[in-house]
Amino acid sequence: MRFKRVYDISVLLGLENIDYPGDDPYTREEVSSISNGAAYNLSTLTLSAHSGTHIDAPAHFLERAKTIDLYPPENFVLPAHVIHVEDVESIKPDSLDGLKTERGDALLFKTTNSMSGLSRSGLFSEKFVYMSEGAADMCLNLGAGLIGIDYISIDRYRDDMAPVHRKLLKEGILILEGINLKEVPSGDYTLLCPPLKMKGAEASPVRALLLG
């Protein structure tokens, strides 16, 4: 099957990624370099499991909950709907009015985080468009299989209870954070976002693509 367009909705690690306060920052260190006379190029990486564009599994906030490696591959290849949100504070329930989905679909929210360049700025901001609890409830009612947002966290900053994370993850809904949807029109796509195959991980960086 051929697609008319493939959108890369991942941020570029080492330039565009945003490190959440307290997380280990992403770094790549060159260990061996051909330009310095070595026989090969070799580098090491230091990063959080939540670096850049990444997926949260229930184990991120829930004790003895499902980890990334326990999800089968089909959970990362999904029909997806890109939903444009004009509200500059939060994603609210009315953003989902009239949306026609099937159970298990991915819902990706395009907000001013993407349009302003905030989502790929490389710098953390305390003020970003987050998801309200009411919108999370709507996503649950629609039977979503994955929720995506164009910032490094789906919850409002300093909301230590992380109510949206907990509400979605408790129902086994994966959360895709740190995407960039600026160039993607609203509509229907196929989402590919396979994580690294890591034992026991609560999250993983991904390369997220939308096929249209």
pLDDT digits (tens, 9 = 90+) for 29-61: 999 999 999 999 999 999 999 999 999 999 999
Q: In whole angstroms, what is the distance from residue 30 CA to residue 201 CA? A: 26
- Residue 63 φ/ψ, nearest 5 degrees: -70, 135
Average pLDDT over residues 61-81: 97
What pLDDT shows up at residue 50?
98
Task: Give the amino acid at 25.
Answer: P
Q: Residue 72: which residues within 8 A CB-CB, separation 6 or more?
A: none
Q: How confident is the model at residue 112 (pLDDT cuts 50, 70, 90)?
A: very high
Residue 1 has pLDDT above 70, yes or no: no
Share of the chain above pLDDT 70, in %: 100
Q: What is the pTM of this model?
A: 0.96
Buried b (16+ CB within 10 A) or exposed e, 67-91: bbeebeeebbebebbbbebeeeebb
Say which residue the tokens 């229930």 belong to.
Answer: 58
Domain 6-18+49-211 CATH class label: alpha beta
Going by pLDDT thresholds of 50, 70 and 90, the confidence category of residue 122 is: very high
CA-nearest of 78, 67, 75, 71 to 107 is 78
Query: CA-to-CA distance for 72 and 132, rounded, in angstroms?
Result: 29
Question: What pLDDT, on a 0 to 100 scale, did the predictor assign at position 192?
Answer: 98
Residue 3 pLDDT greater than 80, yes or no? no
Q: Where are the domains of the chain?
A: 6-18+49-211
> Residues 53, 205: contact at Cβ < 8 Å?
yes
Q: Mean pLDDT of all residues in the chain? A: 97
pLDDT surpassing 90 at residue 26: yes
- Predicted confidence band at 4 (pLDDT cuts at 50, 70, 90)? confident
